Chains A and B, each alone.
Chain A
């Protein structure tokens, strides 16, 4: 324990030290050159409070938050206190603020704390928090003099003073509130209401208005669902109405969609468009999270939220309905919605042949990632590969898939009729390559961690019977049976519940002084002891490696002790009928007379073959004979109650006959077979999980389109490519005007749009373009910091941008390049360009810059807690350097085969990313050496050199980077992260993708000044940086990840009873139990290798839509759990038909664009040429685009259509659309369809 603590401390110190060393380098560098600020613009934060300060650019929050947390012992409560103190003016976060600003800051700070200050929702998700006048919705501001002790509220519309009693509070949400998540979004409304109460404002009442505000909310939700999309939770109209009527603050929002309401229009203080952010808060926040919200309302005693009760009770009505179903869960087809053409369905909901649920967490699963057998990846023709997202039936909605070898593989039927279990992925690969597989009878097991059920609050469901469960129950079964056989009933009753371990101990103690015991106990205990001895000596050793247990041993154990039959040899009896069992018994012929040396034959009639296929009994065909060989022959015969010595079936007791008949009637085949066999046979696949392919896995450099080398505006002067060099060399005839920041070098006396003049090193001066005065002396209401400058060709030095001179200067310093792609114009507020030197050096390494000045690489997240050194290119030596001194067994690391536990911020990069990162490091070294005149720091030449280096990981929609450490490279097309660093970004592994950058790149090249000046511009930018992750301050979803080495028997029992997931919390160790010291984590299943299996999904490898679809349907035909006609129907309904319709109808109202300058036109220019530059005008939707799915749609109908009514309607729809296309475009265009397919 101590060592673990020390190791972790050392790890954290290293991260911190290295980070601050890099900050020093970057500070030194930036002071020397033209960067927008003379120091790194990313703030290193160590706590939530500091991150809040960095994110919102406020002060005094971190210390106060820490004090309050200490005092109250609860961060959330502290948050409410902070809100209160900010509004009362006791905590000054930005000097003296008027009341409306204090409220605004308070709500944002509150939301920031609740979201761990990682996401940008507090910045971007709240457009404004406004005091408004009752009845009119006019904005009201506090115009009192500092220090604003008594607010003086004034209406901004009419300028009159307003009584606070006549006001209410409104929060105007924006789209990015989505990033906060439902709970935090709902809490933001609660925080705002708390703020309102502290400020002493009355509650919002929709009835104050002349318009029907309540109806407006209802219409908006309805319209959103109809025209835009859906929410995670789609509340009923009554629910929306309930919220709208009772919510004590106004939930307003910016327009996020072009769609407008039709009914409740022209309400003066509201836009006519839909307010996506506001709707999100209502639907996914308040309605969906009402139960969570209500807890807070009660805890903090906030009045006015009593209506939540009704929302919650409404939910519980549904649950009551669910009560009956509790013993059995229903198939759920939600995941099938929006099936995309080309992304295959793997199994219908709970279908026979679908994934068999097995409980467990491998070292590369958990946290919304599940394990499948690598053979499955091949069998699906490589559609499902390492890191592919699956949409699943349960327990959650989506998960990414990873290879795990310690679970059961898929079972397939080959072209020659034989049925094989694909334990060996290499064999699977070969069979697929040779196209030997005719049908995929079963997808094999899916490994799902119990923590997933807890997180999703999904009732436990019975899992596959598996060796780890068997091992837990066998000793106890042997004990109980032994005791029952040998002891009188009353004694048996006393002893049967004593755990085996204690019994062993007691028995040996008592037997030591047996003479002193009274006769009664002596006898039974003696017997008990001998039984226990037997278990210990005979049974337990055999259980040491359950996977390798032979069929003879398994049969012997079961026949001798009546223990459940070993899962490896158990067939799927619940998938056949009792009469099928009888049929098998009647039809079989056996060769051989001892266990382990038998062979079963059947005449090949279709029925028997089907039964064996349903049971998943491996077999092959010899002419017209079905042959089952060992070990399956013995396994099958033992379960059918056959005795090889006598060559007969076991005789059944006569009084059993009645029971057997009963079981036949009830179709309880498993129990029926158990009776025949004479020992229990458990259900092998009681729960099947339906799934389809979601998003493909991904590992790709991020490129804007078109991708620039440098953020430097060149307009159309560089041609279509925006090539600055082309202009520089004079090859481009065009010139242009671009907007840059209006800075003048006082030395050179001309426009130089940098902080420091690159020619003379003088600090430049910012001017206002409105008044032409230096910014410090400008009195304009809205100063304009930007000037429109001609690219060269201008006599006026204040409005011409000396591009050629800047290029020459850069070339002198860092050399030259053939092409240097800039941007058309800058989108930032100040429009300060990047130094060209950076671009040249990037161009040399073929690197493209992102909008914030950094270089990014995107990968899909996959979890990893332990790694085998050789999987990721770690040598034992290097491993020890990185702090991996001992392996999971506590042995010193000396070999590449050992498995070590990762540290919380470790990541494994895909090779592709590593190769890219090598170039980035080289670029950064170039930059230090040639541009900043400093020593290089990386010295990296090959991917393995990256191991140990620090990167910054960043999730989209967030603003807080998290430092990570590279510990290896793997041949995969996604990346492995320790779940803790993943959760620190508020991400899980259900198919999300995140970006990484090199730490020094962020420090040197990122600037807030480059970010786009629009809503959401601050998202996806590393505004603050967490160097060391505190597991208490991460997304608590990961706290539910289980970290134990095995599950207790109790858990399996609970699962059979469909117990609530909450009951499992007590039974297994989760990360939450280890937040203090998140080391020593364990896993239940190992895998041969974390990179075993195909890496690039076939979906991405196939280029043509037609091929993707064809393969998808081919797979549907082959998978037993999928009905191909249904797949075709769903593809048509959810993809093709809407697409064709949409595009056909968009064709006649489309926009147009210029091929040359990319200008957009709503109406086609009547001259036929671009009026701006004379370029050719193009369509934005072509006839071929509109009809590209028509041919495939027709083929689907022809091939898969049936006579059911739905199909007939679909067929008519397709016909009508074809007619529509024909009459719209004439007949020529349908001919060119084929050609279109050929070309795309």
Chain B
């Protein structure tokens, strides 16, 4: 039986007899000539779930009766018989949860469509030019002063008349000396050396130290003169350095009238010996609970990548894998997804552990051979990493796995690998309006002619994973969500002193009244308790 057939049959049986069948039970049933008769038995047992043992007559219904509703133990018993058998996505006909009553709407607004890079210097140059093109307008809007078209014009004007000018460019060099920060700012027309004297510009120096990195687009105001080449001097009194995302950007509050919620998870790491299968199952069970006031309203499940542990990701990984076969890892994930209630829409982006290239943007999981089982599922959307997705017609969610956060945390003078540090790191991405604000760190980018990593418009939600540290913050109206993990602390994390947040999920309450109240906007569900 294919996934789809199973589902149909399960649905039919569920509607007709009011029981939920395990996949194995379904298969048993197929071989059974008098299926209806067997199913009649379900009346004898007041249980919502029907197992294979029951069909085969291995379990005495009377015995089961004593176990009143304790469905999961039976399921587990069957599990141990045939491990990890997936169950059909189920609906409970008796009482439909609120989420099943509303229609879902998922629209992928932006994702990396062309992914092949031009592997030449020109490709890199074009990429950075596009980055500048995309972000320059934002910078310009932010800085008052005498703007010039480009650095070419800046040199011309300053040669004639040294003075205060504003210009935007890409930071191509950054050096700190005892007395100053030296920036190289470039655009297609030229290069200017920016000197930020520490004594004369203590504030700006501090800002540069904390915020500016090679590869960023920034705007600078300062006194320019041309000697051997153009030099711009920046002092606190007359100069300025600005990032494209600074200032006030309030996004419009999404007008969601339905009582729906989105849950954010990530870094499942199926296949790892440290994968907490129990917690992940508990998560799925929770979503299936029609009585849970939160779970029953979840309409969207958003996964920030690293659904599997992958293979060959780091040296010596083979020893730490429970499932060494990459196909099997995804197969397993697909089986889990089948257990989700079928009124739920799922959005999954890839991460660095997924079977795709490492360079950003990462194409959709649908282009990965091992991940094919995911494409066969209904209600599962597989955009690229990063991707901008509109859910429920209103809420814009920027999804990014978060590979660059490591570099920011290491580079940033006061960010550490903890919730606070992660928040700081994500906010830097927003201020710099770029998901990989530091070029040349540990994260490779694909030099595409179009820079998909630039953030032109502030989304309602920026969801990241990767750090395994759960955190939430609202910044300028944008909800920053860093998802937790389902992987126990690894030996490596232990050694370097990183404590991951395991088995906690973040729920965004989308209904307008809840959303508008910052205290009610989020619900954190801890599955470990």
Contact = CB atoms under 8 A, between A and B. Distances in A.
A1165 B172 contact: yes
A262 B439 contact: no
Given A1212-B325, A1223-B363, A1141 B312 contact: yes
Interface in B358-389: 358-360, 363, 367-370
Interface string B345-366: 0000000000111111001000
Interface string B425-460: 000000000000001111111110000000000000
Interface stretch (A9-17, A45-53, A1036-1044, A1175-1183): A1175-1183
A219 B447 contact: no
A883 B1 CA distance: 93
B440 A1220 contact: no
B117 A1224 contact: yes
Contact of A222 (B119, B215, B318, B496): B496
Interface in B84-134: 115-122, 124-125, 128-129, 132
Contact of A1223 (B116, B122, B445): B116
A1222 B128 CA distance: 22
Contact of B128 (A262, A1146, A1150, A1164): A1164
Interface stretch (B68-76, B183-191, B241-249): B183-191
Contacts of A1225: 116-117, 119
Contacts of B495: 218-219, 222-223, 237, 263
B325 A1208 contact: yes
Contacts of A1137: 312
A265 interface: yes
A810 B522 CA distance: 82
B119 A1229 contact: yes
B275 to A, nearest CB: 17
B226 interface: no
B129 A1148 contact: no
Given A1146-B444, A1166-B186, A1213 B119 contact: no
B410 interface: yes
A334 to B, nearest CB: 16
Nearest to B359: A1148
A1178 B440 contact: no
Given A1146-B444, A1147-B359, A1167 B188 contact: yes
A744 interface: no
A746 interface: no
Interface string A160-198: 000000000000000000000000000000000000000
A1144 B129 CA distance: 23
B128 A1166 contact: yes
A265 B359 CA distance: 28
Contacts of B184: 1171
A1149 B442 contact: yes
Nearest to B170: A1166
Nearest to A1227: B116
A1138 interface: yes
Contacts of A975: none
A1144 B368 CA distance: 17
B182 interface: no
Nearest to B192: A1171
Contacts, number: 178
Interface residues of A, number: 59
A1168 interface: yes
A262 B325 contact: no
Contacts of B172: 1161-1166
B214 A1145 contact: no
A1179 B117 CA distance: 14
A429 B98 CA distance: 85
Contact of A219 (B190, B359, B416, B496): B496
B417 interface: yes
Contacts of A762: none
Contact of A1163 (B173, B190, B367, B370): B173
Nearest to B316: A226
Interface string B177-203: 000000010111111000000000000
Contact of A1166 (B188, B315, B439, B492): B188
B184 to A, nearest CB: 8
Contacts of B118: 1226
Contact of A1149 (B187, B188, B440, B492): B440
Contact of B121 (A264, A1177, A1229): A1177
B498 A262 contact: yes
Contacts of A1223: 115-116, 356-357, 363, 367
Interface in A225-274: 226, 237, 260-265, 272
A1148 B410 contact: no
A1168 B358 contact: no
Interface string B486-502: 00000010011110000
Contact of B215 (A272, A1163, A1227): A1163
A150 to B, nearest CB: 35
B263 interface: no
Nearest to A1171: B191
A207 interface: no
Interface in B306-350: 311-312, 315, 318, 324-327
B408 interface: no
Interface string A304-341: 00000000000000000000000000000000000000
B358 A1145 contact: yes
A1162 B173 contact: yes
A1226 B363 CA distance: 13
Nearest to A1221: B357
Contact of B444 (A226, A1148, A1227): A1148
B171 interface: yes
Contact of A1151 (B315, B370, B440): B440
A120 B474 CA distance: 57
Nearest to B355: A1216
A1166 B116 contact: no
Contacts of A223: 495-496
Contacts of B442: 1149
B324 A1209 contact: yes
Interface string B389-414: 00000000000000000000010000
A1162 B497 contact: no
A1163 B171 contact: yes
Contacts of B360: 1148
Contacts of A1227: 116
A1222 B356 CA distance: 11
A219 B491 CA distance: 11
A284 B379 CA distance: 57
Contacts of A210: none
A1205 interface: yes
A505 to B, nearest CB: 67
A359 B368 CA distance: 58
Contacts of B125: 1164-1166, 1168, 1177
Given A1145-B444, A1216-B311, A1205 B410 contact: no
Given A264-B497, A1165-B125, A1225-B117, 13 more contacts: A219-B497, A222-B496, A223-B495, A1152-B124, A1163-B128, A1163-B173, A1163-B215, A1164-B128, A1168-B125, A1168-B188, A1216-B326, A1219-B356, A1220-B359
30 contacts: A219-B496, A222-B496, A223-B496, A1144-B444, A1146-B444, A1148-B447, A1150-B440, A1162-B173, A1162-B439, A1162-B440, A1163-B170, A1163-B171, A1163-B186, A1164-B125, A1167-B186, A1168-B125, A1171-B190, A1177-B121, A1209-B311, A1209-B325, A1212-B325, A1213-B311, A1216-B326, A1216-B355, A1216-B370, A1219-B357, A1219-B369, A1220-B357, A1226-B117, A1229-B119
**In the A-B complex, the 7 residue pairs with the closest CB atoms:** A263-B497, A1148-B444, A1226-B116, A1183-B119, A1220-B357, A1213-B312, A222-B495
Interface of B: 115-122, 124-125, 128-129, 132, 169-173, 184, 186-191, 214-215, 311-312, 315, 318, 324-327, 355-360, 363, 367-370, 410, 416-417, 439-447, 492, 495-498
